[in-house]
Structure 1
């Protein structure tokens, strides 16, 4: 963290600079005093914006300027971090969290403490309830959960600790940079994308995550036979997902009819999904396997 300490000595007044007597120089008008107080408050606010809320926790922009600026498929959501979430971030981030800075390759075996553990990448986990349930139901699989939502990161870390889930790691930042710069080929046993932002307006469709370019990249990091599992309650996006996945040369549909899949038992119902179902939305699951090289 950069240091931004204020100077211990006050700046010279106009009287001091012109050689006026010290007694006269220390006499400031009410307007000058008010201006100095306002400047001090502004400086404190500026320092607050520059200094992270959790100095040893997730960075606001971990990749910084190391990588190109491009259209993002996600929007960082800034909402209030509760006391419990903040405490989890402070204590557990150094142990189970990582920033996606794009500067080095990840050794997943070292990250999870087991070189034989299969690891699944989950992109976008919300508040982490479903992720924690899946981790608890399958302790023999590591889940690398990626998101940019600070309250959700803290919530998932807290859930992992309370439930003794040593098979969860939380990644902060852009999943594209994680896949492209930090994961090695064939390192993933699976990829999960549940309820990504549907970007419903036509002019925003280019921001949708499930695109041919994304699938081509993901395929290089998934081992042969690894499962790509997507779910959405936005029907137009589901249709696009099915079309794009069906055309992807590196993947094959697990459904013999080439259509959507029933929700597998290992994907629990999420709170977000329940809200969609209450509104009459239809949830579609897509299960595709990475073809052999």
Structure 2
């Protein structure tokens, strides 16, 4: 399908899946290098991010949604790039005054890109609450604009690092966590940046409710089988398609025009859904 981060050492990359101006990348940071664990070294910890912020154009609608008061209810922490997650410890509480209330089924999408499929899913399931987290302000703005113009009452948007957010949330808190077309980081020395790893999945699984889902999809075959191996061997999660198997794209995950174009060209897409034991 589309291009993913290239193989140049400077880590500047072309857009990832869906050929979007903004990419549907992982909005999360991860652990530190193993050799930097002493107190003295803590002052110089190098964070290994699973995402890369890219300079992208912000259109007028996105800018309007980030600044106009009529869109403010969608933006949990509108801080224009700061990504400050201070005080966000309960996603359900964000919907306390909404028609669904705080007890409705809750989905968190990590790295929603421009938000088209995220908003489509929220519109299709009005009785379910949706929280999206992203680091790219143009995508955040566009997503808020679409939610506002459609009058959705079941959407909240957070600017920041998904792993940090998950660490702040209670256990058994989210019914579904979605990670669609994450950055594959295809160079071997960058595999540590891949979102799906045992360390990160421990954080993800902790936040899921009993029976809750982790759903991921990718158009990179190597990453698909990487995720299959990691997740099939992760204690506490069960592959809904059976060990070693992928699942057909569920109806609730919209197929984007770029995904459809890639499939027409013979490119594969792999979905995985795991439930918490």
Query: Shorter-chain TM-score: what band?
Result: 0.7 to 0.9
Number of positions where the alignment pairs a residue of Structure 1 with one of Structure 2: 223
Q: Which residue of 2 aligns with 1:82?
A: 59
Give the structure-2-normalised TM-score.
0.76
Stretch deviating more after TM superposition (234-243 or 165-174): 165-174
Counterpart of 2:216? Answer: 230
5+ residue gaps in structure 1? 1-67
- TM-score, normalised relative to structure 1: 0.72
Aligned to 2:146: 159
Structure 2 residue matching 1:75: 3-state secondary structure? coil
Shift of 1:86: 0.4
Superposed, which structure 2 residues align to 1:72-111 within 5 Å? Answer: 72-91=49-68, 94-99=72-77, 100-111=83-94
**Measured at CA, do residues 220 and 257 of structure 1 come closer, stay the same or move farther in structure 2, by a change above 3 Å?**
closer
Q: 1:239 aligns with which of 220, 225, 246?
A: 225
Q: Distance in 1 between matches of 2:111 and 2:148?
A: 20
Which secondary structure does the structure 2 equivalent of 1:158 belong to?
helix
Distance in structure 2 (CA, Å) of the matches to 1:195 and 1:231: 5
> 1:251: how far off?
0.3
After TM superposition, give the deviation of residue 106 of structure 1 in Å. 2.5
Shift in CA distance, 264/178, structure 1 to aligned 2, threshold 3 Å: same
Which of structures 1 and 2 has the larger relative contact order (alpha carbons within 8 angstroms, sep 6+)? 2
**3-state SS, counterpart of residue 134 of structure 1:** helix
Say which is worse superposed, 254-263 or 144-153, in terms of deviation.
254-263
Shift of 1:115: 1.9
Q: Secondary structure at the match of 1:71?
A: strand
> How do residues 163-242 of structure 1 correspond to structure 2 at under 5 angstroms?
163-181=150-168, 183-242=169-228
Question: Which structure has more helix as a fraction of its residues?
Answer: 1
For 1:98, what is the secondary structure of its paired residue? coil
Q: How does 1:21-170 map to 2 (within 5 A)?
A: 69-91=46-68, 94-99=72-77, 100-113=83-96, 114-170=101-157
What displacement does 1:118 show? 1.8
> 1:156 and 1:216 mapped to 2: Cα distance?
29
Query: What displacement does 1:96 show?
Result: 1.4
Conserved? CA contact 1:190–1:227, under 8 Å? yes
Alpha-carbon RMSD: 1.6
Unaligned 5+ segments in structure 2 are 1-44, 78-82
| Structure-to-structure mapping, 1:252-271, within 5 angstroms | 252-256=238-242, 258-271=244-257
Taking structure 1 as reference, are residues 145 and 220 closer, same or farther at Cα in structure 2, changes over 3 Å only?
A: same
